[in-house]
Copies of this chain bind each other. A is one copy, B any other.
Amino acid sequence: MPKVLILSWHAEEFHKLIEAAHLPALEKLAAAKDAAEALPLGTDFDVIFGEPARIRDVLSALPNLRWVQSIWAGVEPLLDPSQRRDYLLTNARGVFGGLMSEFVFGYLLLHERRVFERLQAQQEKRWDHSRTGTLRGKTIGLLGVGSIGAHLAHTAKHFGMTVRGYTRSSESCRDVDAYYHGSGLPDFATGLDYLVSVLPNIPSTRRIVDASLLSQLPAHAVFINAGRGATVDESALIDALQNGRLALAVLDVFEQEPLPPEHPFWRTSNLLMTFHTSAPSFPADLSRVFIENYHRYVNGQPLLHLVDFERGY
């Protein structure tokens, strides 16, 4: 008989959605915005559904904890080895593929279609009939091909592109034309039109986008980071952008968020920033993920989107 705690900035909205689902065998359902609100509601919860950064604060107070469903794809706050790992941790990676495709291809199209230049022509009352670019025939390289990368690959094929994938070892996405691993990173990057990272922040990905990797890209290339800020050497990226060795970077994530006021990114040319909004968490989507996994939980079936604490995703 599960006792479920909703622990989220959007606690009320999630509470309504989960209540409306009339979950079977549910013994207790409570919702709180943070640890201070949550702990007075009891310490007998076996299930938490919410944001990893908030859940971290109650981990040690819930002896019966068996399952945490994160509403984020990234679960870094729960991965610190000093914290308990004696529960099932599932993330929301199934939800964000479509949203990430909207983000990545929206910005790639913005670039190819020269939207800003076209707007400037309009403001100058100038009929700008110059030819646009196209995605078709271009080559995109995906750093990371999990469920989000697979959706990006599928969208890339829809637009007639060639797709390279860089992964630890998996080669399971059929929309990837060529896979690269380990020391194949320079080959992976050479000649890419677009480099897109959706990597999680784990030790092996830290600053993987560095001066050396960036130097493999042609000067017309676009880099998009929709993964985690720590995977990029920010100084090397600024250097490449300021010196015309990269046409454009679109950054959704940063080593430090919110970006500090004195950060040089605020003054870097050929850079667009989207402030960690690339894949918004829509409560209805995330409740569906939780509800599906809840049914599996009460029926003793394997949960979807299980995180391997050692691997980190």
Contact = CB atoms under 8 A, between A and B. Distances in A.
A26 interface: no
B99 A129 contact: no
A155 interface: yes
Given A118-B272, A125-B261, A155-B158, A131 B99 contact: no
A103 B99 contact: no
A18 interface: no
A113 B118 contact: no
Interface of A: 98-99, 101-103, 105-107, 109-110, 112-113, 115, 118-119, 121-122, 125, 127-132, 134-136, 154-155, 158-160, 257-259, 261, 266, 272-278, 280, 282
A102 B106 contact: no
B266 A122 contact: yes
A140 to B, nearest CB: 14
In the complex, the 10 A-B pairs of residues with the closest C-beta atoms, listed nearest first: A106-B109, A127-B258, A131-B280, A125-B266, A106-B113, A122-B273, A129-B275, A128-B275, A132-B277, A127-B275
B105 A259 contact: no
A104 to B, nearest CB: 10
Contact of A159 (B101, B118, B277): B101
A136 B98 contact: yes
A155 to B, nearest CB: 7
Contact of A106 (B106, B259, B273): B106
27 contacts: A98-B160, A99-B136, A102-B109, A102-B112, A102-B113, A102-B159, A106-B109, A106-B113, A107-B113, A107-B115, A110-B115, A118-B277, A122-B266, A122-B272, A122-B273, A125-B261, A125-B266, A127-B257, A127-B258, A127-B259, A127-B275, A128-B275, A129-B275, A129-B277, A130-B277, A131-B280, A158-B158
Contact of A274 (B118, B272, B275): B118
Nearest to A276: B129
Contacts of A101: 159
